[in-house]
A and B are shown apart, each in its own frame.
Chain A
């Protein structure tokens, strides 16, 4: 059996385990390629029935308009419920202090909004598109990752996870983060998107846009999220985004790849990892992701 078929079947099995084991799950949807792939897998797992969960987007208010439009269009097309909760609202109601300064990002504040949404809707499981190949703390996380009421991941207290038996039994207040595409690599996701002809936001393909060059990275000026400073150089380049996240922490790559074939060829040839190329938030320290997961991050 082809490896993509194996990975697909494994992911569908995991999604159905969520449906079978939890009362109030949700699928964390960002409008990025990994969560779009999850939605495609959920269609395969549950049609002609409805999804046994809504889509949940935690909107930092700093997202690309293209990704938001795509999100709304997709939810509408498949006729599934989309819940959006805004970091902006959490900042206001909880009087959170917003990071300021040169490379300020609301990425860390997403955790508060996510935990509030989990409490508001009493979600007992949140399905996410994280992959183990992305980062070395993620390489150690289980498919069913049990979190306490603060959303914290405790790497030393992970449940053994054997064969294809997933244990989603939890106490009230706890919840489980579930990662159906844990065993997929970046290239697997792209090959699958091509094979299945899955539509993506235009951001993933080469286009011309205005950017500023900061610390050697190309950051989008869209939406005025990043305020240009004196030593930032404004440029117009042909770029694409290898990952699509919050504007404040997602860098663009110079690229002419305008088709899926070209994007796949580019990824096969690259010598830099996905997060290394595009994410400012992982480069803070050796254990940045581990610390954020312990703090309740996705």
Chain B
């Protein structure tokens, strides 16, 4: 059975938590005691209905304020597939949490209130999904019951969204009219919208082809960040020296020529091991141990790549940045840059432009960035960094900035290229 990780984008007002509750409830993934707990919590409500949103809001302050603050993960499975739902908050002040949640997803559900159509928030969520390289978008037009299940309303929203998507880098968009509250077209087919003959949301989630991650395609370049060197140094394993890590993209075979970056030294793969078993080939996302034919100086932070497809290596890097700290970023500030297992100091040389997340307008002449701002930046690094453009390879194109004094992760970077 395979696994699909998807994110739901929207706010309480769009019915996001209700949708997740509905997916879990109608797929029989909510257990009796969990349902009892929310029934207890909603006792005393006038309308007597169970608030499915309470299933997902796990922190006391979230329940008190009736909003989702942080990313939560939900798990369910059907006979066809396993799912991880990444439940991220929708408000603009939680953009960083949505970016965090979206980073590992293969699909995003963008919720639109049928009464409102495409709004500012839809534009922001779609931009983030596109910047994070999520290949599949589902536009779920919710609250169809409140617009008389009108096909015209749905069609108009599809046209509005297609117009928006033209400006974004999204490869596949699917439109589904739903009512999360009543369960129409979520798991069960709606009888109120006979004009809709596409899949229900769950059918779509169950059958869509999963690209493991963009970069796991067999054709993608072989990338292996070294995490740890295994050297038992016992008498019988005196010469054992294995490089432990996870193949983040592509395929490695014994006998392959490899290049060690950033040093540029070369060698060939002598053996590939998983838990003591020797293999002739291994591919992303397997965690393996590699052995090389020659003695090369390799330690944590090095990137082993197949020599037939080298990444970029540079000390000036251009990237899209989502700023995640309350302390503002200024041109000239210094941080620690982490790409894969490599860390090096860097400074922000330039803010090329800031991106208005709602209008997609590029603002030039910006000297500092505040929490949740998105911008194109140029970094100068202390050591050369090896990477791929993010839109080609999520694993070696994604990076973080760490504040040297607070140690907090303050920025997410989608690397674009050499500046």
Residue positions of A touching B, CB distance < 8 A: 1-3, 5-10, 12-13, 16-17, 19-20, 43-50, 52, 132-133, 136-137, 139-140, 155-156, 158-165, 167, 169-171, 182-183, 185, 187, 270-273, 276-277, 286-287, 290
Q: Residue A45 contacts which of B232, B287, B300, B400 (CB distance < 8 angstroms)? A: B287
Q: What residues on A are CB-neighbors of B115 within 8 Å?
A: none
Would you call B32 an interface residue if the criterion is a C-beta within 8 Å of the partner chain's C-beta atoms?
Answer: yes
Contact with A along B4-47 (1 / 0, CB 8 A): 00000000000000000000000000011110010001000000
Would you call B150 an interface residue if the criterion is a C-beta within 8 Å of the partner chain's C-beta atoms?
Answer: no
Q: What residues on A are CB-neighbors of B268 within 8 Å?
A: none
Q: A6-B3, A163-B394, A171-B407 are in contact. Are A273 and B34 (CB under 8 A)?
A: yes
Q: What residues on A are CB-neighbors of B33 within 8 Å?
A: 272-273, 276-277
Q: Residue B73 contacts which of A46, A183, A276 (CB distance < 8 angstroms)? A: A183
Q: A160-B99, A272-B32 are in contact. Are A13 and B227 (CB under 8 A)?
A: yes
Q: Residue B409 contacts which of A12, A156, A167 (CB distance < 8 angstroms)? A: A167
Would you call B383 an interface residue if the criterion is a C-beta within 8 Å of the partner chain's C-beta atoms?
Answer: no
Q: What residues on A are CB-neighbors of B100 within 8 Å?
A: 160-162
Task: Decide: A165 and B400 in contact? CB cutoff 8 A.
Answer: yes
Q: Residue B228 contacts which of A19, A276, A286 (CB distance < 8 angstroms)? A: A19
A160 to B323, CA, bound (A): 11
Q: Residue A276 contacts which of B31, B56, B75, B248 (CB distance < 8 angstroms)? A: B31
A185 to B287, CA, bound (A): 21
Seed contacts A162-B99, A162-B409; 15 additional CB < 8 Å A-B pairs: A3-B1, A3-B82, A9-B285, A17-B227, A45-B287, A49-B242, A136-B56, A136-B58, A136-B72, A137-B59, A162-B398, A167-B408, A183-B84, A273-B33, A286-B60
Task: Decide: B60 and A287 in contact? CB cutoff 8 A.
Answer: yes
Task: Decide: A158 and B285 in contact? CB cutoff 8 A.
Answer: no
Interface residues of B in 72-87 (CB under 8 A from A): 72-75, 77, 82, 84
Would you call B395 an interface residue if the criterion is a C-beta within 8 Å of the partner chain's C-beta atoms?
Answer: yes
Contact with A along B51-63 (1 / 0, CB 8 A): 0000111111101
Give 19 pairs: A residue, B residue, CB < 8 Å, sorted on A.
A7-B3, A12-B287, A13-B227, A19-B228, A20-B227, A48-B232, A52-B228, A139-B73, A140-B70, A160-B412, A161-B100, A162-B99, A162-B100, A163-B395, A165-B400, A167-B409, A183-B73, A270-B31, A276-B33
Task: Decide: B227 and A19 in contact? CB cutoff 8 A.
Answer: yes
Q: What residues on A are CB-neighbors of B212 within 8 Å?
A: 1
Q: In the complex, how many angstroms separate the beta carbon of B313 from the nearest chain A beta carbon?
A: 19
Q: What residues on B are CB-neighbors of A187 within 8 Å?
A: 77
A169 to B82, CA, bound (A): 33
Task: Decide: A164 and B246 in contact? CB cutoff 8 A.
Answer: yes
A171 to B2, CA, bound (A): 40
Residue positions of B touching A, CB distance < 8 A: 1-3, 31-34, 37, 41, 55-61, 63, 69-75, 77, 82, 84, 96-97, 99-100, 103-104, 212, 227-228, 230-232, 237, 240, 242, 244-246, 248, 274-276, 285-287, 300, 324, 336, 338, 340-341, 394-395, 398-400, 402, 407-409, 412
Task: Decide: A155 and B70 in contact? CB cutoff 8 A.
Answer: yes
Task: Decide: B34 and A48 in contact? CB cutoff 8 A.
Answer: no
A182 to B395, CA, bound (A): 20
Q: In the complex, how many angstroms separate the beta carbon of B81 from the nearest chain A beta carbon?
A: 9
Residue of A nearest to B76 (CB): A185
Task: Decide: A160 and B287 in contact? CB cutoff 8 A.
Answer: no
Task: Decide: B407 and A155 in contact? CB cutoff 8 A.
Answer: no
Q: What residues on A are CB-neighbors of B73 within 8 Å?
A: 132, 139, 182-183
Residue of A nearest to B74 (CB): A139
Task: Decide: A162 and B244 in contact? CB cutoff 8 A.
Answer: no
Q: What residues on A are CB-neighbors of B231 within 8 Å?
A: 49
A47 to B6, CA, bound (A): 34
Q: In the complex, how many angstroms separate the beta carbon of B57 from the nearest chain A beta carbon?
A: 8
Most chain B C-beta atoms within 10 Å of own C-beta, residue among A16, A43, A50, A163: A163
Q: In the complex, how many angstroms separate the beta carbon of A79 from the nearest chain B beta carbon?
A: 11
Residue of B nearest to A3 (CB): B3
Q: In the complex, how many angstroms separate the beta carbon of A50 from the nearest chain B beta carbon?
A: 7
Task: Decide: B237 and A48 in contact? CB cutoff 8 A.
Answer: yes
Q: In the complex, how many angstroms separate the beta carbon of B217 from the nearest chain A beta carbon?
A: 13
Q: Residue A47 contacts which of B56, B59, B275 (CB distance < 8 angstroms)? A: B275
